[in-house]
Chains A and B, each alone.
Chain A
Amino acid sequence: MSAQFSIRDLAVSYGRVRAVKGVSLTAGEGQIISLIGANGAGKSSILRAITGLTAPESGEIWFDGERIDGKGPDQIVARGVAMVPEGRRIFPFMSVRDNLLMGAYRRKDNAGVASDLEGILTRFPRLRERIRQQAGSLSGGEQQMVALGRALMSKPRLLLLDEPSLGIAPIIVREIARFITSINRDNGVSVILVEQNSRMALKLSSHSYVLETGKIALSGPSHELAENDDVRRAYLGG
């Protein structure tokens, strides 16, 4: 397994609060890994550091053999990293179409953009029906589809998903889970999945990291972690 992506000894602080205290992890090309853990364990801070939204205090972040920590979000996105942020963060006063096209901001291949847009609308027919509506008027699940579609429009090779199931109806969560599996399988996109829904995270990913107060408490193949008694008690409800 070649490590397409790796983090070495990452630390992230907000003022005096240390949110991430020395985390190392790797993701191979085409792999889905998940980060699970309670609220405030540092999962989102790790994703923010990867995309350059928050500058790391120390440590290294490598993608495709290049060190990307310290670069701005625009440069990191240009290298093929996309993120669906927590709370979706779609542009509420823009149409669904404009939201999706924003994802393709850096692309110059207009024909490719048009066909990718078509692909996303085929995958999510609900978005095709609402293509002209303001994205803020959509349901939570539909907004999550917009956020996922927007991230894919940049043609990423690494996709970061921050709590994609949060506040979304169970039936749509299943649709989103299928979608994550299919873009990983069909397009070969590597995925780092941050989830409070640990059951879903362990099921979708091949390798998982359990975070506790800014450190990795446990890691291993997801199917093994799913049978670990501590993990079952703490994160899977028995």
Chain B
Amino acid sequence: MTQVMLNALVVGTTYALIALGITIIFSIMKVVNFAHGQLYMIGGFVVYYFNVVFGLPFWFGLVMSFLIVGLLGVAMELFLFRPVMLRVKREEVTMLLAMGTAVFLESLALIVFGEKQRGVPPIATGIVELFGARLPTGRIVVIVVAAMLIAALMAFIGYTKTGRALRAMAQDREATALQGVNLKWLSAMGFGLGTGLAGLSGGLLVAIFAVHTGAGTAISIKAFLMIMIGGAGVLSGAILGGFVLGFLESVGYALLPGSLTFLIIFLIVICFLIVRPNGIMGKPWG
């Protein structure tokens, strides 16, 4: 059981990182970013290319996965979402736009990266014994890095001027503009931060699981499960949702035949949403 709990911890911390990225975009832009999983996948390939193809250190690739996928998000906001949102007010339109972007990015990735599964050399060697369970050192490193990134993000959102303005913008855009905030700049930055986190989680997880161009859709679906469990638009809910899903998944894989796990998780989430449609912590974030 300790082994299962440790696995849940590994999966949970990285899932939390994924859910935080999608939550930031949802809160500040009211956009449901269906392309989040594809951005995650691109982040994985960025690390693969820098680390394996160009022979640069893994950590350098990880920083680049944040920067490159973050800039991709800024471009998406500036050239896709903003012009569309200026013209139409209906939410379905941005959802369709996000879905279209997902399909586009996945097809483009297939052309550019090919269909092969790609991985990187282990970031750390050896096995650590923890509470009687055995865990590869690489996974411990991933947990620690993901936890540090979550802490850094929460500190940024909670205690910096820009973080405060992002929270304000999520609550009332006009009132935020009246404080002298340039909404155009901040929206693009917030979008880039959210997608950058997707890239970062993809880049980090390529150290444990390999990446392939089709990996995005499953990640997007899991990300939505997490924010539905935790509560859409709440940062703490995103973290909680990540851990809950990580736990359910790890326990499920340990006890049940593989394909049953997500069938049961979906049933649990559907029943849960009937009782609590806003998730565990459903309220706007702040």
Q: What is the interface size of chain A, counting residues whose CB is below 8 A from a CB of the partner?
A: 25
Within 8 A of B (CB), among A69-105: 72-74, 77-78, 82-83, 85, 89-94, 98, 101-103, 105
Contact call A77/B180, Cβ cutoff below 8 A:
yes
B286–A74 contact, CB under 8 A?
Answer: no
Question: Does A44 interact with chain B (Cβ within 8 Å)?
Answer: no
B74 within 8 Å of A by Cβ? no
- How long is the Cα–Cα vector from A103 to B176 in the complex, in angstroms? 9
Candidates B161, B167, B180; contact of A91 at CB < 8 Å = B167
Would A94 and B171 be within 8 Å (CB), given that A73-B177, A102-B165 are in contact?
yes
Does any Cβ of B come within 8 Å of A198's Cβ? Answer: no
Query: Which residue from A53, A93, A94, A98 sits with its C-beta under 8 Å from B178?
Result: A53
Return the chain B residue nearest A88 by Cβ.
B175
Cβ contact within 8 Å between B175 and A105: no
B125 interface residue per 8 A CB criterion: no
Q: Chain B interface residue count: which class?
A: 20 to 34
Query: How far, in whole Å, are A102 and B186 apart by their CA atoms in the complex?
Result: 14
Chain B residue numbers with a CB within 8 Å of A91 are 167-168, 171-172, 175-176, 286
A154 to B176, CA, bound (A): 13
Closest chain-A Cβ to B6's Cβ sits at a distance in Å of: 35
Q: Please, what's the 1-or-0 string for A152-181, where 1 marks a CB less than 8 Å from any CB in chain B?
A: 001000000000000000000000000000
With A83-B178, A154-B179, A154-B180 given, is the CB distance from A93 to B171 under 8 Å? yes
Q: Contacts A85-B174, A85-B175 given; indicate if A94 touches B181 (C-beta within 8 A).
A: no
A154-B178 Cα distance, complex, nearest whole Å: 10
Question: Do B177 and A74 touch (CB < 8 A)?
Answer: yes
Interface residues of A (CB under 8 A from B): 51, 53, 72-74, 77-78, 82-83, 85, 89-94, 98, 101-103, 105-106, 134, 150, 154
